Amino acid sequence: MAKDPLTKTKDIRATVDKELGFDPRVEAKDITVRNINGDVTLTGTVPSYPQYLEAAAAARRVAGVTGVHNHLEVALPGSNYRDDVQLTTAANNALAQNVTVPDSVEAAAYEGDVTLTGTVTYGTQRAAAEAVVTGLTGVRNVIDDIEIVYAADPVDVDLNVQEALARSALVPDDSDVKTETKDGIITLTGHVRTWAEHDAVVDAASMAVGVVDVRDNLEITG
């Protein structure tokens, strides 16, 4: 017998709660999960920005979850607080020490929010810059304003993306995902079954040479 919608809602919420409690990278005691037909909202607090990101990732791993709205707040312990000058210095030092991030990228901190600016050639460089500062002590949020500057033929960009999707083990051969390229911006449409498949499509698109940005209009069927 099929479960009624209320029972399914309770099951997804309970399963997300269990996944958050199971994940050793998340302190879930102050997280509240709400679910409406697979659309999950996380509220409450976590003690670090990496936990803020991981909580959303954990929720996306749960079968039946079609959307995640992360409204968690990062409540830093007093021992992890850094003033703006300290955090700005730490972020720029970390960027300078990473071989993937070009010298054109800079960081500035304000009350725990780290803003990244500058230019890069590839999306992987932008992703690397964000990853470098994400785990720094004192970070409450990362705002990525880095621009990708790369002159490429739209036809070549679209071909690069299609080939990347075809290589991905997580994207099925019968996928109806479509791409449209304009000024280096890739718009993704179509359907994916899981968040893992969704992330594989977005990652494949963002890594292709010539991609400036990815607009994600994919639908998750669950």
Secondary structure (DSSP) of 197-220: HHHHHHHHHHHSTT--EEEEEEEE
pLDDT for the residue 113: 97
pLDDT for the residue 48: 96
pLDDT for the residue 3: 54
Secondary structure (DSSP) of 63-126: TT--EEEE--EE---GGG---HHHHHHHHHHHHHH-TTS-TT-EEEEETTEEEEESEESSHHHH
Containing 57, the helix (H) or strand (E) segment is: helix 49-60
pLDDT tens digits along 83-94: 999 999 999 999
Place of tokens 């300078």: 96
Q: In angstroms, rounded to a whole number, what is the distance separating the alpha carbons of residues 156 and 66?
A: 32
Those residues with Cβ within 8 angstroms of residue 99's Cβ, 6 or more apart along the chain or in another chain:
none
pLDDT for the residue 2: 52
pLDDT for the residue 40: 96
In sign, the C-alpha dihedral spanning 1, 37, 206, 208 is positive
Residue 156, token pair as written in the block: 């070549």
Q: In angstroms, rounded to a whole number, what is the distance separating the alpha carbons of residues 176 and 20?
A: 32
pLDDT for the residue 152: 59
Burial level of 211, CB count in 10 A (0-12/13-18/19+)? buried
pLDDT for the residue 30: 96
pLDDT for the residue 16: 96
Q: Residue ranges of the chain with pLDDT lower than 70?
A: 1-10, 150-155
CATH class of the domain comprising 154-220: alpha beta
User: In 3-state terms, what secondary structure has residue 130?
Assistant: helix
Decide which of 3.30.70, 3.30.1340, 1.10.357, 3.40.50 is the CATH code for 80-148: 3.30.1340
CATH class of the domain comprising 5-74: alpha beta
pTM, rounded to two decimals = 0.74
Containing 192, the helix (H) or strand (E) segment is: strand 185-192
Yes or no: say if 188 and 214 are a contact pair by the CB < 8 Å rule: yes
Listed in order, the ranges of the chain carrying CATH 3.30.1340.30 are: 5-74, 154-220
pLDDT for the residue 155: 66
Q: In angstroms, rounded to a whole number, what is the distance separating the alpha carbons of residues 9 and 41?
A: 12
